[in-house]
Amino acid sequence: MTNFNRPALPAGVRTNGASTSPWWANAVVYQIYPRSFQDTDGDGLGDIKGITRRLDYLADLGVDVLWLSPVYKSPQDDNGYDIADYQSIDPMFGTLDDMDELLAQAHKRGLKIVMDLVVNHTSDEHAWFQASRDKNDPHADWYWWRPARPGHEPGTPGAEPNRWGSYFGGSAWQYDPKRGEYFFHQYSPKQPDLNWENPQVRHAVYQMMNWWLDRGIDGFRMDVITQISKRVDPNGKLPGETGSQIEDYPAGPDGYSSPFPFCSDGPRLDEFLKEMHREVFDGREGYLTVGEAPGVAPQRNEQITDPAARELDMLFMFEHVDIDCENGTKWNPTPLDVPKLKRTLAAQQDAVAKKGWVSLFFDNHDQPRVVSRWGDDSTEENRVHSAKALAMLLHMHRGTPYIYEGEELGMTNAHFTRLDQYRDLESLNMFRQRVEQARIQSAESMMDALAKRSRDNARTPMQWDDSTYAGFTATDARKEPWISVNPNHTTVNAQAQQDDPDSVFSFFKQLIALRHNNPVVSAGDWHLLDESDPQVYAFTRTLGDERLLIAVNLSGKEARIPGETEAALTAVGETPDIMLTSYDPQHSADSLAARTLSPWEAVTVRL
């Protein structure tokens, strides 16, 4: 564990209902996707030594915590989220010695390291799963095994235990000839779900978590942790199984029903999380736990992250990144509805107004680049202004902000035009299922959707400089990067931005410093203004006598400052105290005087 070299919140400031302010209340987390961050050995894949090499850059940015996507031993079917050995580093990333050196060097710079914890499922190459293929092995009940549907030949179409489909396409059941049964996988067939109903599974997971914490890591980001508890009937049968007392939902146009309603925020989730806290975190200090929470409503976030519950510190909520998905699928993207975004984020903020905490994010390894998604990357000017506007909007909310690698540079979507440019398992599988098998979407429509929403948009190499491979790997490396570098790296890169006071990078540094040094940003009350305005997203932050107004024009057109926001501005007088702006102070002072905001203008004013 490590201490920070930045101001801590005053002890008397209420943050999430805890009696004292938790250290992470004014922290900023930076997510690293290791295979795309920095390659040091020329194999086209990022590695742990590359992360260590770039620690000074991260310290200069001002972040406090580094979250690493999985670096464990893995077949890499889903880029490491299919773990074959939790206590080994995959050779593509390095060694345990490299990991220990990263921890030492990060801690020396006041940076904490949080590792990804993927325990809803493992790889099918994990020793636990291989042992479970024998019905007589002690691990036989460590996964969700089921026989074929009665009256059907095992392994043939229609013999699956129920009609559930995988989120990555195809059936959620895979037949194993060795065992003569099917195993359940919400994701890839190479990612079988662990059976958390079995206490031996939970004990093994907790033992592994303690091993890593004892080694010196500072916490865990828990992948789809709210899916570890499945809904079963009194006889242990899943919905839709023969003889189950729980009915399944109807199949969709692709021929499958969804396991999501029955595998998200299940009946034993709180029990499992409380047990995890007791067995792993009680008696420890300085750690961070954040859970990826698909299917969890804001009100449940308040319950799970209430310090009195002793479950998790914070959750990633997903309603706001689903608002531009038509009919519940991201493969039918729709334009941003600003009032809907306000209502969705307001629900998250309001739920934790008295207790609990929320994670703040737009970008991550599963989301497209927000500057391309909700901003405007059509011109350099619009890219810079919209990247800054979206950053201010996010970071000035109450909660812990998460920056995804390259977001601080305003990195954009890849803008791929051919299917063979994609590497993402989900993208390739869904193209095959939706276009070639179910024929519910045209190839042209699906390619457009991939260009806008594929996870690969976030996974192109980090853009360090304008060299051939963007500084991700050497220009004479023996292998090209595992996925193509975005061509705009010649203008959008860290080297060009670090010493530029008007860059997106410099703006992020100011945002982070604002949070570190002003308790009102971290802990102040949050209040939305002008909920229905289609362009301006405005809110106030209040702590004691200090009050801030944040106003963001989320459009490429000039916006009139709406009524409630205009009324709040009456307190600033003729010389507003502008703390931060996405343009320049004089421009924003003129904008406020005229009661307008320029395209993508964002401003924070002290009232």
> Does 125 reside within a domain?
no
**357 and 491 housed in the same domain:** yes
Please indicate, yes or no, whether residues 554 and 424 belong to a single structural domain of this protein: no
Asked if residue 424 is part of any domain, the answer here is yes
Are 225 and 368 part of one and the same domain?
yes
Is residue 298 in some structural domain?
A: yes
Strand ranges (E), 118-211: 145-146, 173-176, 181-184
Catalytic residue among 292, 377, 530, 601: 292
Phi-psi region of 70 (alpha: psi -120 to 50; beta: other; left: phi over 0): beta
Integer CA distances (angstroms), 303 to 17, 71, 270, 308, 321, in order: 12, 31, 9, 9, 22
Query: How many residues are present in the chain?
Result: 607
Residues 6+ apart with CB under 8 A from 558: 596, 597, 598, 599
H/E element, 49: helix 48-53
Residues 462 and 437 in one domain: no
DSSP, res 237: P
| pLDDT of residue 504 exceeding 70 | yes
Summarize pLDDT for 233-277 with one digit per residue, the tens. 999 999 999 999 999 999 998 899 999 999 999 999 999 999 999
**Number of Cβ within a 10 Å radius of residue 557:** 10
Give the integer Cα–Cα distance in Å for 417 and 254. Answer: 25
Confidence of residue 189 (pLDDT cuts 50, 70, 90): very high
The answer to the question of residue 353 being in a domain is yes
User: Exposed, middle or buried by CB within 10 Å (0-12, 13-18, 19+), for 275?
Assistant: middle
Lookup: tokens for 155: 């392994």
What band does 1 get if pLDDT is binned at 50, 70 and 90? very low
Candidate list 193, 218, 223, 377, residue with the active-site label:
223
- pLDDT for position 5: 60
Q: In this structure, is residue 502 part of a structural domain?
A: no
**pLDDT in the model for residue 205:** 98
The mean pLDDT of the chain is 95
Same domain, 562 and 483: no
Q: Pick the closest to residue 382 from 372, 369, 392 (CA basis).
A: 372
Classified as helix, coil or strand, 546 is: strand
93 pLDDT exceeds 70? yes
Residues 48/94, Cβ–Cβ less than 8 Å: yes
Identify the pLDDT of residue 129: 98
State the average pLDDT over residues 572-585: 90
Counting the structural domains of the chain, the total is 3
Distances in Å between the Cα of 258 and the Cα atoms of 91, 191, 197, 507, 540 are: 36, 17, 21, 42, 40
Mean pLDDT of 210-223: 97
315 and 215 together in one domain = yes
In a shared domain, residues 444 and 477 = no
Regarding whether 535 and 388 lie in a shared domain, the answer is no
Q: Are residues 449 and 462 in the same domain?
A: no
Q: Which is more confidently placed, 565 or 332?
A: 565
pLDDT at 57: 97
Question: CA torsion angle for 142, 146, 147, 148 (degrees, to 10)?
Answer: -140
User: CB of 29 within 8 A of CB of 114?
Assistant: yes
One domain, residues 290 and 205: yes
41 annotated active-site: no
pLDDT given at position 327: 76
Which candidate, 593, 532, 100, places its Cα nearest to that of 346? 532
Does residue 457 contact residue 435 with C-beta atoms inside 8 Å?
no
**176 belongs to a structural domain:** no
Out of 166-170, 181-185, 394-398, 599-603, least confident range: 166-170
> How does DSSP classify residue 247?
P
Cβ 533 vs Cβ 338: under 8 Å: yes
Q: Which of these ranges, 7-16, 529-538, 586-595, has the smallest mean pLDDT?
A: 7-16
Q: Would you state the pLDDT for residue 21?
A: 84
Contact 342, 432 (CB under 8 A): no
CATH of the domain at 341: 3.20.20.80
Kindly give, in sequence order, each residue whose CB lies less than 8 Å from that of residue 97, ignoring residues fewer than 6 positions away: none
Mean pLDDT over 60-79 rounds to 96
Model confidence at 572, in pLDDT bands (50, 70, 90)? confident
Q: Please check whether residue 47 lies inside any domain of the structure.
A: yes
Whether pLDDT at 440 is above 90: no
pLDDT at 220: 98
Cα 84 from Cα 75, distance rounded (Å): 7
Mean pLDDT of 293-297: 91
Average pLDDT over every residue of 482-489: 96
Which is higher by pLDDT, 15 or 376? 376
pLDDT-derived band at 559, boundaries 50, 70, 90 = very high
CATH number for position 599: 2.60.40.1180
| Residue at which a domain ends, from 453, 478, 512 | 453
Alpha-carbon span 549 to 537, nearest angstrom: 11
Residue 3 has pLDDT above 60, yes or no: no
Q: Where are the alpha helices (DSSP H) in 269-337?
A: 269-276, 298-305
Can you tell me whether residue 143 is helix, strand or coil?
strand
Contact between residue 161 and residue 195 where contact means Cβ atoms under 8 Å apart: no
pLDDT computed for residue 492 by the predictor: 98
Q: What share of the chain is helix, strand, coil (3-state, %, to 5)?
A: 35, 15, 50
Please name the helix (run of DSSP H) or strand (run of DSSP E) that holds residue 568, with its range, or none.
helix 563-569
The predicted model gives 322-337 an average pLDDT of 87
Residue-number span of the structural domain to which 407 is assigned: 29-120+199-229+265-414+458-496
Task: Report the percentage of the chain scoring pLDDT > 90.
Answer: 88
Residue 544 lies in a domain: yes
In the residue annotation, 376 being an active-site residue is answered as no
